[in-house]
Amino acid sequence: MSGCVFCKIAAGEIPAKIIKKGDGILAFADLNPQAPTHLLIIPTIHIGSLNDAKDPQLLGTLLAFARDLAKEQKLDTRGYRVVVNTNPDGGQTVFHLHLHLLGGRPMEWPPG
């Protein structure tokens, strides 16, 4: 989708530190990391938010991709957090579906 920053990253039109590529999935480093490891996992097709994700198989694939990536980043034993902010109250600022993978420090609960 024109104007979408994550579509532009998926198309290679703006730079990002790409960490892992899958079939229709991309993981890259967050520009403003909130933890020692902070990666974003996106579908390469434009889906605005979790509300717009009609394909449960894609959602499962994204989650499994995040889990595999966490293991590759050696976060699996100590632990990590996967977050999907959705719409304004959820704290979503980029309206292209993405999973945050956060790790490398203890996470707090409840989140802010």
Nearer Cβ to ligand 5GP, position 77 or 109? 109
38 part of the active site? no
Distance CA 51, CA 108 (A): 26
One symbol per residue from 27 to 66: x for binding Zn ion (CB under 5 A), - otherwise; what is it?
-------------------x--------------------
Nearer Cβ to ligand 5GP, position 75 or 99? 99
28 forms bridges with which residues in the sheet? 18, 40
Q: Which of ligand 5GP, Zn ion, none sits in contact with 32, Cβ below 5 to 8 A by type? A: ligand 5GP
Shortest spacing between CB 27 and ligand 5GP, in angstroms: 11
Nearer Cβ to ligand 5GP, position 9 or 70? 9
> Any idea which residues carry the catalytic annotation?
98
